Structure 1
Amino acid sequence: MTSLADLHALMARLGHPVVGAAAPAGSRFADGAPYRFEIPSVEGPDVLEAVVAEADRLGVPVARTSQGSGVMMLTDDEITRMARIGADRGIEVNLFLGPRAAWDTGGQAKLTQAVGAAARGNAMVAACVAEALRACSLGIRSLLVGDLGALEVLRVLKSDGTLPSDLVLKTSVLMPLTNGPTAAIYERLGATTVNVGTDLTVPQLAEIRAATSLPIDLYLEVPDDQGGFVRFYEAVEIIRATAPVYLKMGLRNAPNIYPSGGHLGVVPKELGRERVRRAALVRRLIEQLDPELAKPSQTSDTGVPVI
């Protein structure tokens, strides 16, 4: 029978060691910061304006916002307004590509979130490409991808010049990433920043960091439909093990607002403001627990819209 030590030695030989205790990652963003804040579910320009205003009020350095309803749920004017705000503030504005299986006529995605963001059929992959082309033409330089095949197609379109070479391709939390080998695959297929599983331990996160140099995106507070965890007191350990890392501030006890729109009234804006407030709470805690940890910057060096 193969011993545990033998199994661990085999994984190490394959380039994916099993981490027992997480050591400091040692990597940083280009500006030297080990972590940045990302505010998710910023569903349109009005929400983005509310998030920016709240970040200014609380002194929270927001480097990236992400949107979940998809490019197809925004007008050209709304995308342009978001791009302009991002360009003016040096904030990466990330938009989800759609359509997706969960909103389609199929049945499997209604039963499990595991395939909720998948592209059903080649026509849906083509729709993702159309969304990418439209968003980029309006200045967006960061897209959220929920399908593995779509990711590979977008990589090819970046390499042949159809899409901008500086386009950020961010994998969705709906594309499971829970180990180092999978992270390496995502990087080979064109990902430039990767969402990881919401329930991973710090050693497991360190194993993913060992497998890729890409920025890691991690929910520090997790929406209920993704587990509902609140990991504020793990923030310092997570940063040390996974830097460079985007700390994503989701919300527990909050409604799912996808697809968003005017019918939801002020709810998306209020949720955006509260996510910024959560980031302020986390920043204070990080500074208390590790005063020597380098602070995050206000701006991003990638994915900022081009206007």
Structure 2
Amino acid sequence: MPSVEGPEALGVVLKEASRLDVPIHRISQGSGIWMLTDAEITEMVEATAERDIELCLFTGPRGTWDIGGSTRTDSKGAGLRARGHDAVAGCVEDAVRATELGVKCLLVADEGVLWTLHRARVAGILPADTTFKVSALIGPVNPTAYAVYENLGGDSINVPSDLTLDHLTEIRRVSAAPMDMYIEAPDDLGGYVRMYEVAELIRRGAPLYLKFGLSKAPGIYPYGNHMRDLTLATAKERVRRGRLALDLLARHGADGDMAPLGSRLPGALKRFETPS
């Protein structure tokens, strides 16, 4: 479940998931670690740990938070990446703070940040069981790019929702790294709805995290109390979308073999050699 922007939204998601019997493997937040207090992070860590759910928080700052104005041009410039040494350092600071508070999964939207955090993990600066999720904001669109993100340290990689089924097969020929995909993408990521393909997406792409964004919904980043009502309403609706997908899989006879809750480590993956 993406875009769960704090403890209150998390409470809404957990309550609705219990009501609708929707198992959740991972809950992620998009505004950034630095938009949460230590107390808020700790509350989210404890609530998800009680239910064997992986909590994934976003490192920042990212392009739209600083001088990266080119992201608002037609070409989108360099994307929502970390600009300059200080922005990379800010992401590392976020990572260290979050892991010290018990967060085990970090969302990353920059190749340099990913490689830096992976090296920090290898060096013991970050816990060895920390996982890195590559954001949909920089999702790879071919098997070679997907393999590069795996080698840079990615433990699950968010591909764009407009890839074909054959594209997923091509990726699986070269990489075993878990895949994330929006079954319904937010409008700023295309607004695609792939619900009726979900069984085949799983067959081609597994291990695959099914993500439920909402099309035709306003953006909520960066979250604050001024966005409270919308954020809570959309958090609840994402869970309902998950129930719809589960029901569809059951009708198609494809609702088996889901990984047990608490499954989060991807196993051995390919990595570039880290400098000594």
In the superposition, the TM-score normalised over structure 1's length comes to 0.83
Please give the secondary structure, in 1, of the residue aligned with 2:210: strand
Q: Which residue of 2 aligns with 1:251?
A: 214
* Displacement of 1:109: 1.4
Give the 3 Å change call, closer, same or farther, for CA 66–113 of structure 1 in structure 2: farther
The corresponding residue for 2:5 is: 43
Counterparts of 1:287 and 1:75, CA distance in 2: 40
Does 1 or 2 have the higher relative contact order (CA < 8 Å, sep 6+)?
1
Counterpart for residue 282 of structure 1: 245
Provide the residue aligned with 1:31 in structure 2.
Answer: none
Q: 1:198 Cα deviation (Å)? A: 1.5
Matched, 1:185 2:148: yes
Counterpart-to-counterpart distance in 2, 1:277 and 1:246: 16
CA contact (8 A) 1:71 1:97 kept: yes
SS in 1 for 2:209: strand
Rounded to whole Å, the distance in 2 between the matches of 1:295 and 1:163 is 29
Q: Which amino acid aligns with 2:30?
A: G
SS at 2:25's partner residue? strand
Matched residues in 1 for 2:242 and 2:80: separation?
27
State which of 53, 56, 60 in structure 1 corresponds to 2:22: 60
CA offsets 1:128-160 (integer angstroms, 9 cap, x no match): 000000000100000000000000000110000
Q: Which residue pairs with 2:161 in the alignment?
A: 198
Is structure 2 residue 115 aligned with structure 1 residue 170? no
User: Number of residue pairs matched?
Assistant: 265
Between 152-161 and 205-214, report the one with greater CA deviation: 205-214
Q: AA paired with 2:33?
A: V
Tell me which of 174, 177, 182 is aligned to 1:219.
182
Is residue 34 of structure 2 the alignment partner of residue 72 of structure 1?
A: yes
From the superposition, tell whether residues 114 and 40 of structure 1 become closer, same or farther in structure 2 (CA, over 3 Å): farther
AA aligned to 2:224 is G
* 2-structure distance, mates of 1:132, 1:117: 18
Select the structure of larger CA radius of gyration: 1
Post-superposition offset of 1:302: 3.9
Which amino acid in 1 is paired with 2:111? L
SS in 2 for 1:162: coil
- What CA distance in whole angstroms lies between the structure 1 residues aligned with 2:121 and 2:153? 9
TM-score normalised by length of structure 2: 0.93
Please state whether the residue corresponding to 2:106 is helix, strand or coil.
Answer: strand
Q: In structure 2, how many angstroms separate the alpha carbons of the residues matched to 1:96 and 1:161?
A: 20
Q: Out of 110, 120, 124, which is 2:72 matched to?
A: 110
C-alpha deviation, 1:113, in angstroms? 4.5
Q: Which runs of 5+ in 2 are unaligned?
A: 267-276
Compute the displacement of 1:116 (Å).
3.6
Q: Does the 8 A contact of 1:215 with 1:245 survive in 2?
A: yes
**1:266 aligns to what?**
229
Which of 132, 135, 150 is equivalent to 2:113? 150
Tell me the residue number matched to 2:272. none
- 1:167-214 residue CA offsets vs partner (Å, 9 max, x unmatched): 010001111300110111111110011000110000001111222111
> 2:62 touches 2:81 (CA, 8 Å); kept in 1?
yes
- Asked if the contact 1:61/1:299 (under 8 Å) is kept, the reply is no
Letter in 1 for 2:57: L
* TM-aligned CA deviation for residue 240 of structure 1: 0.4
RMSD of equivalent CA atoms = 1.4
1:92 is aligned to: 54
Q: Percent identity?
A: 46
2:70 touches 2:77 (CA, 8 Å); kept in 1? no
8 Å contact from structure 1 (residues 64, 300) kept in 2? no
Summarize deviations over 1:84-139 as a string: whole Å, max 9, x none: 01111110000000001122123211225563420100110000000000000100
